[in-house]
Structure 1
Amino acid sequence: MANTALPSRASIAGRLDELPFTRRHLRLLTGSGVGWALDAMDVGLISFILAALTQQWGLTKTDAGWIASVGFIGMALGATLGGLLADRLGRRQVFALTLLIYGIATGASALVGGLAALLVLRFLVGLGLGAELPVASTYVSEFAPARIRGRVIVILEAFWALGWTAAALIGFFVIPASDDGWRWAFALGAIPAVYALIVRWGLPESPRWLASRGRIAEADRIVSTFETDAGVVPEPAIRREPPSRAIAVTTRARLTTLWNAEFRLRTLSLWVVWLCVNFAYYGAFIWIPSILVDAGFDLVRSFGFTLIITLAQLPGYAVAAWLIEVWGRRSTLSIFLVGSAVSAVFFGTSTTETAIIASGMALSFFNLGAWGALYAVTPEIYPTSLRGTGAGWAAGIGRIASIIAPLAVPVLLVAGGAPVLFAVFGACFVAAAVAAWGLVDRRGEALDDR
């Protein structure tokens, strides 16, 4: 008689961790990564569109700051809700829904005729975008083999550089081409609405999440497809085991558990890192094109400088992807944050074209490498039943800083110009580097599947 016993949750997790990297892993990474790149393109586009609209609509710096910040308000709400929904409804469903929301809202932004309508749509864009990023990193981390999990997530984050580079190219070639160039830029951002359908039907649900919900047979089928691709024959299950009790099963329980004795330090440290990195990154990169225009460079030239600076993101990710499995998560994250701090100070005091580009490229290199390490470590420090909530709330709390940053930049520029502004950003990076040592480093270890 054939053995029909179901595997345990532990065996599902173990089989995932022991797999080699297969074509299915690559398809899943690429599918999630393209969504990530499209997200980055949307966030990047607004930095170039702000510079154009400030001239075309005669916006004040406060108006421009609100266009950026209202999107981050939506991102804060989206990240917290997206994480909770991902733990409740599944990773793939929420991933596809968020892409659809922000893709449609971005396309609609191309039709606006005034500031009020643009603010409403930017909020909706942020709502979808904020939910997508922590859900995507959680989703991919739950498929990745343990020995290369950090590297896979940094590679996922590297798609951000591709998206931001696409935004810089659109900013350089499309936006200055006509008065309606910014409208065409928004229209290109509607691509994710189509891509959402591909995600929904083309990618599997996380087996770890399915197993945590007691859907062992579904989880087993998905893992088996990966094993077939890899030519791996799993040992037959010898007993039927009910799913182990999740560490938290209700929304309120999940939120409370983030602050129990086991998770309190890592949650506090993670939130501090997310707050500081968001403030410094979005304060700098949303405003760099406008700061360069204010420094006397014309629109096309400032966009060209920004494009060159953006290209340094890719080697930053590549180095972080290698080091994260050599040095570990915390060391890689903290060292890249210190590099970001030093680069920020030099950028703020640079006056020549060569110095601006060199320090800007260094800032781009270190800061985006740090982002890769942060997204790698975030989902790893919580168990499966809490992973989406923990990652989502860290991202959501971080977005509070990204809301404040675009509004604080004009104030800091008036107070002391670029040197003071980027010194503040440098201090934020240092604070994040210190807080990183309160995180748990799970390099090479299995995920906690409670």
Structure 2
Amino acid sequence: MTEQAVLETEPLSTIVDGPQIGPLHLFILATCALGLFFDTAELAIGAVFSTLFSAPPYSIEPARLSLLLAAASLGAIVGAPAAGWLADRYGRRPMLLLAAAIVVVTSIAAAASPNLMFLIIMRALSGLALGAYPPLAAAYLTDILPARRRGPLIMLTVALGYVGPVVLIFLVRFLTPLQPLGIEAWRWAFISCALIAFINLLMTWRIPETPRWLAAKGRTAEAGAVLARLGGRQDGRAVRGLTMPIDAAGPSDMQQFMRRMGFLILVYFLVPWSTSGFPLLSGAVLVQKGVTIEDSLLYVGVANFGPIVGAILCGFVIDVLERKTTLVACAVAMAILGMGYGFALQPVWLMGLGLAFNMVIAIFLPVVVIYAAELFPTARRGRATSWSWASRGIGATLVPLTLLPLLQSVGPVPMFAVVTGTLVLFSIIVQLFGPAGAAGRSAH
């Protein structure tokens, strides 16, 4: 068979899924893990703000505090879809580089904020990247990892990324009474995130573009070179279908694309009411229950060990269970745990329920992201996952604007009742309308 015949007949999936995990795969996983580290750590700053700024000496009024907590999500509404479109057009790697660069600049600026409004603006600009990084990383890893190892390796990457909030929250708790060099602890948190993002920027510079994306653009020779670096085939083999321009897709393909996009946009809008609402406002809930700031940061810090444990455990079973089954089970578990947290008063229950809730989030959110990435072919994966993430940004923006005033006016139980309602609705929609996932199977 001639080289050209191979180019036209052999599926790229059989080539990408062929290599064993090698040193370059491991470096890519470490790079994405560090990226998720700064992403989750930056978002955890919202939990720090909701705790510190709900009590003296700050005691920021609820309307302004809600705006501060929502600022990063506002940025994500714009940043995620723009990054997804650009990632499909110009590549995954350039957009991962841009996201890290934005976080470096905005985090340094946030650390130097002279007033609350400037801080809100910097958080919104940072959100342009923070909202884009997780779906971009998911699209990149889905493109490049072998199907039989994709789920566990992505969950391991997520588990390492979830170390970010733990480190940041305990750093702030340790530095709050010290204020080294006269600089407030939350400013040190931003400085630390900027440094980590800069290291990630340097690491991302050394990773390749994905062979699937290169093949989809007809750049088969470059795709073959990347496959050789990954330890796979030495030639530029690609699937004929992947070199077809996106506009050449048939009507039925476009109809399926639009149906799945509509499904994911609705699902992603419901996701942050639990996955963002609980981490963001758990500190404010504790302060509302009469817990001191230092103890609140301790409880929140302990609870953030949950995602690390949850992501590691999920890695062993993620490709065994159907994605939809996992998502519905997690949603039901969060609904029960959230209501329990709303009623709890004793420290051991607050820490235990918070730890368990965050553990389930660590399973739930990555599975949502992987599930979304697997529903679309390479040519549309970046924009589909990022557009969906923009819908999550809208929901995440409404979370503090809705739930924080509700918490402060009527208490934690009604607030968690709203969260439970969104989880029930999510479960019904996924169970009735969700397409089957691709656990353990090759991505298109």
Q: Taking structure 1 as the reference length, what is the TM-score of the superposition?
A: 0.90
Q: Which residue of 2 aligns with 1:199?
A: 203
Shift of 1:414: 4.1
Preserved contact between residue 10 and residue 238 of structure 2 (Cα < 8 Å)? no
Preserved contact between residue 242 and residue 379 of structure 2 (Cα < 8 Å)? no
Q: Which residue of 2 aligns with 1:175?
A: 176
**Cα deviation 1:369-403 (Å, max 9, x = unaligned):** 10121121111100111100100001011110100
More moved, 336-345 vs 394-403: 336-345
**In 2 relative to 1, CA 94–238 (structure 1 residues): closer, same or farther, beyond 3 Å?**
closer
Q: Which residue of 2 aligns with 1:388?
A: 382
**Cα deviation 1:329-348 (Å, max 9, x = unaligned):** 11112211211111111111
Preserved contact between residue 6 and residue 216 of structure 1 (Cα < 8 Å)? no
2:189 is aligned with 1:185: yes
Distance (whole Å) between structure 1 residues aligned to residue 99 and residue 405 of structure 2: 33
Residue aligned with 2:93, SS: helix
Distance (whole Å) between structure 1 residues aligned to residue 252 and residue 186 of structure 2: 42
Q: 1:281 is matched with which residue: 252, 275, 296?
A: 275
Distance (whole Å) between structure 2 residues aligned to residue 186 and residue 258 of structure 1: 47
Number of equivalent positions? 437
Q: 2:347 is matched with which residue: 313, 334, 353?
A: 353
More moved, 297-306 vs 437-446: 437-446
Distance (whole Å) between structure 2 residues aligned to residue 397 and residue 321 of structure 1: 27
2:27 is aligned with 1:27: yes
**Cα deviation 1:400-428 (Å, max 9, x = unaligned):** 01000011122322453101111211221
Preserved contact between residue 271 and residue 426 of structure 2 (Cα < 8 Å)? yes
Code of the aligned partner of 2:390: G
Residue aligned with 1:262, SS: helix
**Cα deviation 1:78-134 (Å, max 9, x = unaligned):** 111111110011000000101110221011111112111111111111011112121
Q: Which residue of 2 aligns with 1:247?
A: 246
Q: Which residue of 2 aligns with 1:439?
A: 435
**In 2 relative to 1, CA 176–15 (structure 1 residues): closer, same or farther, beyond 3 Å?**
farther
Code of the aligned partner of 1:23: P
Distance (whole Å) between structure 2 residues aligned to residue 51 and residue 239 of structure 1: 52
Preserved contact between residue 280 and residue 429 of structure 1 (Cα < 8 Å)? yes
- Unpaired stretches in structure 1, ≥5 consecutive residues: none
Preserved contact between residue 62 and residue 405 of structure 2 (Cα < 8 Å)? no
Distance (whole Å) between structure 1 residues aligned to residue 239 and residue 308 of structure 2: 47
Q: Which residue of 2 aligns with 1:319?
A: 313
Preserved contact between residue 333 and residue 374 of structure 1 (Cα < 8 Å)? yes
Preserved contact between residue 315 and residue 365 of structure 1 (Cα < 8 Å)? yes
TM alignment of 1:326-365, pairs within 5 A: 326-365=320-359
**Cα deviation 1:265-295 (Å, max 9, x = unaligned):** 4323322221111122222211111221222
Residue aligned with 1:323, SS: coil
Q: Which residue of 1 aligns with 2:12?
A: 12
Preserved contact between residue 320 and residue 370 of structure 1 (Cα < 8 Å)? no
2:229 is aligned with 1:225: yes
Preserved contact between residue 76 and residue 127 of structure 2 (Cα < 8 Å)? yes
Shift of 1:237: 7.5
Residue aligned with 2:171, SS: helix
Shift of 1:351: 1.4
Q: Which residue of 1 aligns with 2:40?
A: 40
Code of the aligned partner of 2:97: A
Preserved contact between residue 313 and residue 369 of structure 1 (Cα < 8 Å)? yes
Q: Taking structure 2 as the reference length, what is the TM-score of the superposition?
A: 0.91
Distance (whole Å) between structure 2 residues aligned to residue 428 and residue 43 of structure 1: 21
**In 2 relative to 1, CA 356–396 (structure 1 residues): closer, same or farther, beyond 3 Å?**
same
Shift of 1:193: 4.3
Distance (whole Å) between structure 1 residues aligned to residue 237 and residue 309 of structure 2: 47
Distance (whole Å) between structure 2 residues aligned to residue 107 and residue 236 of structure 1: 44
Shift of 1:431: 1.9
Q: Which residue of 1 aligns with 2:85?
A: 84
More moved, 415-424 vs 81-90: 415-424
Preserved contact between residue 137 and residue 375 of structure 1 (Cα < 8 Å)? yes
**In 2 relative to 1, CA 412–239 (structure 1 residues): closer, same or farther, beyond 3 Å?**
closer
Preserved contact between residue 100 and residue 201 of structure 2 (Cα < 8 Å)? no
Shift of 1:21: 2.0
- Unpaired stretches in structure 2, ≥5 consecutive residues: none
Q: Which residue of 1 aligns with 2:141?
A: 140
Code of the aligned partner of 1:246: P
**In 2 relative to 1, CA 291–422 (structure 1 residues): closer, same or farther, beyond 3 Å?**
same
**Cα deviation 1:26-83 (Å, max 9, x = unaligned):** 1111111111111111111232134324434441121111011111100111111111
**In 2 relative to 1, CA 359–396 (structure 1 residues): closer, same or farther, beyond 3 Å?**
same
**In 2 relative to 1, CA 192–8 (structure 1 residues): closer, same or farther, beyond 3 Å?**
farther
Q: Which residue of 2 aligns with 1:111?
A: 112
More moved, 112-121 vs 183-192: 183-192
Q: 1:291 is matched with which residue: 285, 291, 296?
A: 285
Could you tell me the percent identity over the aligned residues? 24
**In 2 relative to 1, CA 236–96 (structure 1 residues): closer, same or farther, beyond 3 Å?**
closer
Code of the aligned partner of 1:404: L
Preserved contact between residue 97 and residue 196 of structure 1 (Cα < 8 Å)? no
Distance (whole Å) between structure 2 residues aligned to residue 70 and residue 351 of structure 1: 30
Shift of 1:8: 4.6
Q: 1:267 is matched with which residue: 261, 265, 271?
A: 261
Residue aligned with 2:439, SS: coil
**In 2 relative to 1, CA 320–430 (structure 1 residues): closer, same or farther, beyond 3 Å?**
farther
